Amino acid sequence: MKIFITADYEGVSGLVQWNSVGEREAITADINSAIAGAFDGGAKEVLVGEAHANMRNIIPEMLDPRATFLSGQPKSLNHIGGLDSTFDAVMLVAYHSKSGTWKGIMAHTYTGSVFSLKFNGIEVGELGTDSAIAGHFGVPVILVTGDKAGCDEALSLLGDVETIAVKEGVSRSAGKCLHPQEARKLIRDGAKRAMGRIGTIKPFVIDPPIKAEVVFVDPTYADNLEHLPFIERVDGRTITFPLQISLTPLRFSIWRNSMAEA
């Protein structure tokens, strides 16, 4: 079986604020736990992608040598660059809840410029968007690890997916954490269990035609985008546009990056 693992930052074991000491080591350790669980569960090939900031957070010499990894940006499909329909399943490691989530540790949607993102009225964050892109390829998300708020979001959105909560938020920048060793044992065990559920967990698919709605934190972002021919300006902070499945993944990635740079 061929597994794609993508790793963010905010859901890493033991971390509750950005720019923490030992963060790259912690990210790599959580990823290794998921890799080990995937191979425990029968994986034959694992590709690891990165989903945080400059996407160069993995420490190569510390990574489980059984896996290959895709690092850096820009890349088509952004967080899940490298994914295609040949994969059997996706694991989202160290993910977080969407912007505005109560007690969501470091909760945000992309760069923090987005307050709300919806597809056909379904509100999603990075977790939901990446799951929907995987679903476009017919690939299910079988595991989500992160804080409790992120795991609750995954269960609400994706259904009966395997989740591992390694911490619980007290506020956006504070939380009660499991010891990293215990958290990583749970991640490995959860990844192995998830492997056994391949074929029973369905891909997260948003049926076309798809209408996207974005509410920005700052109206300036909407100002910068409203001139594009496919954009409809709704109010000071909100735009909508049709998201065509026939568009290439690269074009979606370009649009997503244009929002981040606006």
Q: List, by residue number, the catalytic residues.
A: 108
Which tokens is 89 given?
């399943």
Q: Contact at 8 Å (CB) between 49 and 99?
A: no
Q: Coil, helix or strand for 238?
A: strand
Q: If you write DSSP's letter for every residue of 64-108 in order, what string do you get?
A: -TT-EEE-SS--TTGGGTT--TT-SEEEEEEE-PPTT-TT-TT--
CA dihedral 140, 145, 151, 157 (to 10 degrees): -20
Give, in degrees to the nearest 5, the angle at Cα 134 between 222 and 61: 100
Specify the DSSP element, H or E, that contains 30. Answer: helix 23-40
Residue bearing tokens 């892109």: 133
Put residue 206 in one of left, alpha, beta given phi > 0 → left and psi -120 to 50 → alpha: beta
